Structure 1
């Protein structure tokens, strides 16, 4: 048999398995670097943009009147400051001037009423126009000298204080840098300027008007709401001051600002035989007139009624409401006074009569 050669292949060495490459992890995107805040604009930036000196910027933005600067230049400086968002640094300005421009007005603890609210709003606007910053401070839990110490922390240049401020409080404010301490109330406080508001005059002119109209048994409304006794007490005293030698009698009439309270007061008015009522102010007068009308009491035939403050609503009633118009200085007048006292911190304490009162007679008396 033929021999057949069979070639047996050599065994090949086993191949090492190929390593599978792990795909690289995607790089985490780096956190975006924070955008640096834009630099705070300075007066130098304003000066460059407006094309003026830094001194001119200071004069314009501080409303300095001692240096004459043309109106176009003033507008250019103000426009540049607005475009850059530049605001003067109050603390730095205070350091340069030696005092702040803060006028502190403690928030009234009693309802001021529309007359005083209008006055204080006008005063704030006028002071702002003179480059003062008005700060209303609500120190409800603090009174007198304790409140003065809290106010002094703000380093105000002037303070319009309530009448319960004491001599020690005036001294604390003075030592903290207040150039003018001014009290509002019926009497002076030693060491402070005084804006005197004597509400006895309101009651006196109301009572005199009623006596002139032949009224001799006069009731005086005393609101029971907290705090209003600061005004009601002096007005009652003023009514009594008007009566010596007239033979008239005065009766106190407590009244809450509620329809039910007014309705309950009507029988007492009839029982006392009152021929007139001074109702504290127009709001209480309108409340009482409604109750008298509902009870069939003729106004003014049986009982005359007069209020105070001369509110528009009183003119819309039928009969129209007689009232006492209280005249106070305007906001700009008071702002000019505050500014003068700040500029002359060594001036002797001044007193200014704030309140004048006159009757506006209408149909209800």
Structure 2
């Protein structure tokens, strides 16, 4: 019977002592250089020699050991949200991770599938992150925030439609999207407005606040406008079924949740002989390029993320100066873009 060859002796893991010997400096100097400590004067030539020695040996600082010495980690934890892809939110997290890395933070994404809210928080706390940024769709409670802060997290930040008690909040208030779309339709003289409510899992986090914004805009307009929610699956058959009974609904316009649902429904309405915008005005959200290529061109609500201070710099500030009152920063700006479909 054949046997696997015996494992050869393990290659030793390079240490900071090895780097110090190769560079001809002390271990303290290696630590200062590789941790970008600028409080100690070290010549550029020495810094270069240390970095070249570390690169040649394949040395990587031990994050856990560094955390023990510092009393905290440089890890920012991003729990994974169980949500469909949302381009604006994806772009936010991509930029955030890049900016945090430039500030010398280690960014770790953590999947929490199969864990309830309490189990997930305990799992995050075991990693001893210095900060946690929890997106919408990840359940975070005041009790969970307390567990994280007791484990050493200096900043707990939520990203979603509503703040959570005890945490700093980056608020993506979706109500302005629905309100902006409805105000635009009201200005065009429309009074019987449908609002598409996607039936796909996870989208209620966005669609329900948009509906609330639409309802508020209609109620405060003194126009007598009415809003009718319209359940719709992202399927041609679902859009065709809705378009087939459109005239029976008596609607003269629709805010279709976003550009993709708007394009789906607009094509179904046109196939059913409903003229856009003569019979029904259509507004989406997201300002996708494809919406500009349609005929008629799609009216939309353009959304942008903006803060007075870049989010990564804000997180760094909260980590360096913990203990203050929870901060709220509204991120989402909504602007209606009028085109031919309305």
TM-score (norm 1): 0.84
Determine if contact 2:306/2:333 at 8 Å carries over to the other structure: no
Q: How does 1:207-356 map to 2 (within 5 A)?
A: 207-244=182-219, 245-329=222-306, 333-356=310-333
Match 2:179 to one of 204, 210, 213 = 204
Counterpart in 1 of 2:127? Answer: 154
Match 2:79 to one of 87, 103, 106 = 106
Secondary structure at the aligned position of 1:242 is classed as helix
Determine if contact 2:82/2:202 at 8 Å carries over to the other structure: yes
Counterpart in 2 of 1:14? Answer: none
| CA shift digits 1:306-355 (9 cap, x unpaired) | 1111222222222221111111138x911111111111122221111111
Following the alignment from structure 2 to structure 1, what is the Cα–Cα distance between the partners of residues 254 and 48? Answer: 58
**CA 1:299–1:72 in structure 2 vs 1: closer, same or farther (change >3 Å)?**
farther
Following the alignment from structure 2 to structure 1, what is the Cα–Cα distance between the partners of residues 205 and 339? Answer: 27
Following the alignment from structure 2 to structure 1, what is the Cα–Cα distance between the partners of residues 87 and 281? Answer: 24
| CA shift digits 1:151-203 (9 cap, x unpaired) | 11211111112463111111111111111111122333222111112111110
Does 1:137 find its partner at 2:96? no
Unaligned stretches of 5+ in structure 1? 1-31
Secondary structure at the aligned position of 2:19 is classed as helix
**CA 1:67–1:267 in structure 2 vs 1: closer, same or farther (change >3 Å)?**
farther
Does 1:359 find its partner at 2:336? yes
Higher alpha-carbon Rg:
1
| CA shift digits 1:29-52 (9 cap, x unpaired) | xxx997543332222333344455
TM-score (norm 2): 0.90
**Offset of residue 65 of structure 1:** 5.0
Determine if contact 1:143/1:165 at 8 Å carries over to the other structure: no
Number of matched residues?
Answer: 333
Determine if contact 1:146/1:169 at 8 Å carries over to the other structure: no
Over the aligned positions, Cα root-mean-square deviation in angstroms equals 2.2
Following the alignment from structure 1 to structure 2, what is the Cα–Cα distance between the partners of residues 289 and 227? Answer: 23
Following the alignment from structure 1 to structure 2, what is the Cα–Cα distance between the partners of residues 284 and 93? Answer: 49
